[in-house]
Amino acid sequence: MKLVVSLAVCLISAGSVFASSSLIQKAKNSRLEAIPATQEALMKLIDDKNDPITKEKVELGKKLYFDPRMSKSGLISCNTCHNLGLGGADGIPAAIGHGWTANPHHLNSPTVYNSVFFKAQFWDGRSPHLADQAQGPVQAGPEMAAPPKLVEDRINSIAEYVQEFKGAYGDDVKIDFEKITATIATFEKTLVTPSKFDDFLNGDENALNKEEKEGLVTFIDKGCTSCHSGIALGGTMQPFQIAAKYKFTNVGDFKGDENGMVKTPTLRNITETAPYFHNGQIWSLSEAVKEMGSTQLGIKIDDNDAAKIVTFLKALKGDKPEIIYPQLPESSINTPKPSAN
């Protein structure tokens, strides 16, 4: 009897391992990719040989990211709308910028975490990478409203910043708008959040529990990976409202790019980044899943399957890099003054 029981336990265990191995392969076949398990492999993905990531650039970029003097008013920093303590977003339906102005298109602030893996930046995909994207909000009237020359004058008037740029790039560095925003982008590249889902895809078959695996199967079988794939589980341009009209489509005037394509938001840390969709109209993750079923897939996702998918999505909450709020260098008498106009 003991032998029979032992054999039964072994067979159940072997079947479970086989099922997990099969699910890992199924996920990979569905174009889901893991954040690399090693720092060396990760750097091969995110680093740029023409502008390599260094600790000096990252630290300087972090200061600039948190510095409200990057805005015309001296009140708004990158972290205002992409708050690293709030999942990299701001938790409101439409971003609020200069002069307490709501985004004129009623656009929601996407998370900055894992944005290095996005194939396109902004909801309409107009920027191909982070260095280009970082220039947009700084200049935009409803956001930070700071002309490039104002940013250059402010940073160059602060002696400590000048020394830090020289330390990061060399004594002959030209501290212009492009260099300043590219340095912010270098910091943003490091905001990667590996999760237990990545451990699972990287071969740890026990990283996800039974319910999370069931949710992953449902996520794949329902067709969610047709848009939410790759390392970011999003971040690519996709057609929107394929099967039906999004029920809040008339909130704001955003219709996508010239071809009606919209950047698919990442699902990493999705439990932290409500409200959902480009105009921030849905607060419930389960409701968002069901809305995507009807809008994009042309199917009805019932409460039971939505709950299974949400269970999987919770497993995408990753480990955040430790961010210590920096002490910013002091302004000089020559630093251009803030303006609310």
Q: Which CATH superfamily is domain 50-189 in?
A: Cytochrome c-like domain (1.10.760.10)
- Per-residue pLDDT of the chain in tens (341 residues, 90 and over written 9): 433 333 343 333 444 444 678 999 999 999 999 999 999 999 999 999 999 999 999 999 999 999 999 999 999 999 999 999 999 999 999 999 999 999 999 999 999 999 999 999 999 999 988 999 999 999 999 999 999 999 999 999 999 999 999 999 999 999 999 999 999 999 999 999 999 999 999 999 999 999 999 999 999 999 999 999 999 999 999 999 999 999 999 999 999 999 999 999 999 999 999 999 999 999 999 999 999 999 999 999 999 999 999 999 999 999 999 999 999 999 999 999 999 98
Which residues, 6+ apart, have CB-to-CB distance to 232 below 8 Å? 114, 115, 117, 118, 266, 268
Catalytic residue among 33, 56, 143, 322: 143
Per-residue confidence (pLDDT) for residue 21, from 0 to 100: 83
3-state secondary structure of 106: coil
Phi/psi of residue 14, each to 5°? -65, -40
With 0-12 CB in 10 A as exposed, 13-18 as middle and 19+ as buried, what is 88? buried
Per-residue confidence (pLDDT) for residue 20, from 0 to 100: 75
Phi/psi of residue 327, each to 5°? -80, 125
Under 8 Å between Cβ of 290 and 306 = yes
- E strand map for the chain: 96-97, 101-102, 237-239, 261-263
Domains of the chain by residue range: 32-41+194-314, 50-189
Under 8 Å between Cβ of 193 and 113 = yes
Residues 319/18/211/281 CA torsion (nearest 10 deg): 60
Residues annotated within the binding site are 78, 81-82, 98, 224, 227-228, 292
Q: Give the CATH fold of the 32-41+194-314 domain.
A: Cytochrome Bc1 Complex; Chain D, domain 2 (1.10.760)
Question: Which structure tokens are listed for 104?
Answer: 């004129």
Residue 33 is among the residues annotated as catalytic for this protein: no
User: Considering the entire predicted model, what is its pTM?
Assistant: 0.92
